[in-house]
Amino acid sequence: MEGGELPRDKKVNEPAAMSASPAPSQPPIELFGSTLCPYCHMAKRLLTKHGLEFTEVSVDFHRARREEMEARSGRDTVPQIFIGATHVGGFDDLSALVARGELPALLARELGNDGSH
Protein backbone atom coordinates (compact mmCIF):
# COMPACT_ATOMS: atom_id res chain seq x y z
CA MET A 1 0.00 0.00 0.00
CA GLU A 2 3.02 2.26 0.25
CA GLY A 3 3.53 4.57 -2.71
CA GLY A 4 1.42 4.95 -5.78
CA GLU A 5 -2.31 5.39 -5.75
CA LEU A 6 -4.00 4.52 -2.50
CA PRO A 7 -6.56 1.74 -2.68
CA ARG A 8 -10.15 2.85 -2.20
CA ASP A 9 -12.75 0.83 -0.36
CA LYS A 10 -15.66 1.44 -2.62
CA LYS A 11 -15.56 2.75 -6.13
CA VAL A 12 -19.17 3.51 -6.82
CA ASN A 13 -19.07 5.53 -9.97
CA GLU A 14 -16.07 4.23 -11.81
CA PRO A 15 -16.55 4.86 -15.53
CA ALA A 16 -16.80 1.77 -17.65
CA ALA A 17 -13.40 0.70 -18.89
CA MET A 18 -14.75 -0.21 -22.32
CA SER A 19 -15.32 2.23 -25.09
CA ALA A 20 -18.64 4.01 -25.64
CA SER A 21 -19.16 4.61 -21.96
CA PRO A 22 -21.91 7.17 -21.41
CA ALA A 23 -20.95 10.65 -20.32
CA PRO A 24 -20.93 10.90 -16.53
CA SER A 25 -23.92 12.64 -15.00
CA GLN A 26 -21.99 13.92 -12.02
CA PRO A 27 -18.42 14.70 -11.13
CA PRO A 28 -16.48 12.24 -8.99
CA ILE A 29 -17.17 12.66 -5.30
CA GLU A 30 -14.83 11.39 -2.61
CA LEU A 31 -15.75 11.10 1.03
CA PHE A 32 -12.95 10.42 3.48
CA GLY A 33 -14.57 8.97 6.57
CA SER A 34 -14.49 6.50 9.36
CA THR A 35 -16.93 3.85 10.46
CA LEU A 36 -17.80 5.17 13.91
CA CYS A 37 -18.47 8.71 12.82
CA PRO A 38 -22.02 10.09 12.95
CA TYR A 39 -21.09 13.09 10.79
CA CYS A 40 -19.85 10.70 8.11
CA HIS A 41 -23.13 8.81 8.13
CA MET A 42 -25.09 12.05 7.89
CA ALA A 43 -22.94 13.26 5.01
CA LYS A 44 -23.40 9.98 3.16
CA ARG A 45 -27.15 10.15 3.70
CA LEU A 46 -27.25 13.70 2.38
CA LEU A 47 -25.29 12.82 -0.75
CA THR A 48 -27.49 9.79 -1.34
CA LYS A 49 -30.64 11.86 -0.80
CA HIS A 50 -29.46 14.11 -3.61
CA GLY A 51 -28.99 11.10 -5.87
CA LEU A 52 -25.22 11.39 -5.81
CA GLU A 53 -22.77 8.53 -5.93
CA PHE A 54 -19.48 8.74 -4.14
CA THR A 55 -16.32 6.88 -3.44
CA GLU A 56 -15.86 6.28 0.24
CA VAL A 57 -12.30 6.30 1.51
CA SER A 58 -12.10 4.85 4.99
CA VAL A 59 -9.31 6.29 7.07
CA ASP A 60 -9.84 3.65 9.74
CA PHE A 61 -6.49 1.96 10.31
CA HIS A 62 -5.04 3.64 7.21
CA ARG A 63 -2.47 6.21 8.20
CA ALA A 64 -1.57 7.00 4.58
CA ARG A 65 -5.18 7.72 3.69
CA ARG A 66 -5.59 9.98 6.70
CA GLU A 67 -2.40 11.79 5.74
CA GLU A 68 -3.70 12.20 2.20
CA MET A 69 -6.96 13.60 3.56
CA GLU A 70 -5.15 16.04 5.82
CA ALA A 71 -2.79 17.14 3.09
CA ARG A 72 -5.59 17.75 0.61
CA SER A 73 -8.09 19.32 2.99
CA GLY A 74 -5.90 20.95 5.60
CA ARG A 75 -8.21 19.43 8.20
CA ASP A 76 -7.98 16.50 10.55
CA THR A 77 -11.62 15.65 11.14
CA VAL A 78 -13.83 13.26 9.23
CA PRO A 79 -15.70 13.42 6.99
CA GLN A 80 -13.87 15.41 4.36
CA ILE A 81 -15.75 15.64 1.10
CA PHE A 82 -14.40 16.49 -2.33
CA ILE A 83 -16.66 17.19 -5.28
CA GLY A 84 -14.44 17.03 -8.31
CA ALA A 85 -11.46 19.23 -7.50
CA THR A 86 -13.38 21.26 -4.94
CA HIS A 87 -12.86 20.59 -1.27
CA VAL A 88 -16.32 21.03 0.24
CA GLY A 89 -15.33 20.28 3.84
CA GLY A 90 -17.21 18.27 6.43
CA PHE A 91 -20.87 17.49 6.96
CA ASP A 92 -21.64 20.99 8.24
CA ASP A 93 -20.07 22.51 5.15
CA LEU A 94 -21.94 20.17 2.84
CA SER A 95 -25.29 20.88 4.47
CA ALA A 96 -24.64 24.62 4.41
CA LEU A 97 -23.79 24.39 0.71
CA VAL A 98 -27.04 22.54 0.10
CA ALA A 99 -29.02 25.05 2.20
CA ARG A 100 -27.57 27.92 0.18
CA GLY A 101 -28.75 26.17 -2.98
CA GLU A 102 -25.22 26.01 -4.35
CA LEU A 103 -24.94 22.25 -4.87
CA PRO A 104 -26.30 22.12 -8.45
CA ALA A 105 -23.93 24.86 -9.63
CA LEU A 106 -20.95 23.16 -8.02
CA LEU A 107 -21.88 19.83 -9.58
CA ALA A 108 -22.28 21.44 -13.00
CA ARG A 109 -19.01 23.31 -12.72
CA GLU A 110 -17.07 20.26 -11.61
CA LEU A 111 -18.69 18.08 -14.24
CA GLY A 112 -17.47 20.58 -16.81
CA ASN A 113 -14.02 20.42 -15.28
CA ASP A 114 -13.94 16.63 -15.50
CA GLY A 115 -10.58 15.35 -16.67
CA SER A 116 -8.70 18.52 -15.83
CA HIS A 117 -7.31 17.20 -12.58
Ligand X SMILES: N[C@@H](CCC(=O)N[C@@H](CS)C(=O)NCC(=O)O)C(=O)O
Nearest-5° Cα angle at 64, 58 to 65: 30
Looking at the chain, list the stretches that DSSP marks H as alpha helix, in order from N- to C-terminal side. 38-49, 63-73, 91-99, 103-112
Hey, how many other C-beta atoms are within 10 angstroms of the C-beta on 18?
6
Contacts of 8 (CB under 8 A, 6+ apart): 55, 56, 57
Nearest-5° Cα angle at 95, 89 to 99: 130
Task: Pick between residue 78 and residue 107 the one whose CB is nearest to ligand X.
Answer: 78
Q: Which residue is nearest to ligand X (CB)?
A: 90
Task: Pick between residue 67 and residue 92 the one whose CB is nearest to ligand X.
Answer: 92
- For residue 16, the minimal CB distance to ligand X (Å) is 32
Task: Pick between residue 18 and residue 36 the one whose CB is nearest to ligand X.
Answer: 36
Task: Pick between residue 37 and residue 107 the one whose CB is nearest to ligand X.
Answer: 37
- For residue 77, the minimal CB distance to ligand X (Å) is 3
* Contact residues: ligand X, CB under 6 A: 37-39, 77-79, 90-92
User: Smallest Cα–Cα separation from 52: which of 25, 32, 79, 33?
Assistant: 25
- For residue 104, the minimal CB distance to ligand X (Å) is 21
- For residue 103, the minimal CB distance to ligand X (Å) is 16
